[in-house]
Amino acid sequence: MQSLRGFLAGVAVGVPAAVVIVAVAILALLNPLWVAFEQGRADAAGWTGFSPTDLRTVTDSILSDLILGPPDFAVALNGNPVLNDREQSHMRDVRNVFMALYVAAAVCAIGLAAAFVATRRNGRAALWRRLSRSGTAIAVITVVGGLLGLAFFDAAFEVFHELFFPAGTFLFDPRTDRLVQLFPDQFWSETTIAVGVVIIVLALGLAWLGRRKAAA
């Protein structure tokens, strides 16, 4: 019974910690510098035919709508909308998923903070130890999941979209649809790897901090 209670307590700490770490890792890469770097590597300018200035204008508008809103994604060049109705609808779906993630992350962060406040001083070491073990577990799971994801990236990418988006709404043609020209496959594969690396660094940082605080 004691071991079961300890396991459940570990899950109650580990899951919120994982949600917060994933949210922070994704947010860290939702910035114009990283996006511009990866668009350059993926030749988004070549896919779209946009000038560097137009590419930045369009991309920055999409990022602003995604992060800050309002989520209309109606950026236009020369009076013509860049994204068609299906692309705009998909981006609104993407924003809904992001908002759900960050609401969940905020709730989890508040819950973890409340756990520290509610725990007596002599019991906080145990809470830090659970966070330390959670950080190690998150790093290991991310490494294993990342290796599997690299081996089966296309399948994993499709499963992810099928889980979070209505069927058929996320399929676009790179020959004609601007959304996948702006963010080609290479952009997503390399950004996914980068998110995984950030998650691992944050998780190992949590493991180190947890051990240090538990021993203090």
DSSP H or E run through 57:
helix 52-67
Q: Give pTM, 2 decimals.
A: 0.90
Going by pLDDT thresholds of 50, 70 and 90, the confidence category of residue 89 is: very high
Residues of the domain holding 15:
2-215
Number of domains in the chain: 1
Confidence of residue 7 (pLDDT cuts 50, 70, 90): low
Instruction: Please check the confidence at residue 27 and state whether its pLDDT lies above 80.
Output: yes
pLDDT of residue 118: 83
User: Within 13 A of 64's CA, how many CA atoms are on the CB side?
Assistant: 10
Give pLDDT tens digits for 11-25. 788 899 999 999 999
* Confidence bin at 1 (pLDDT 50/70/90): low
pLDDT of 40 strictly over 80: yes
Q: How confident is the model at residue 142 (pLDDT cuts 50, 70, 90)?
A: very high
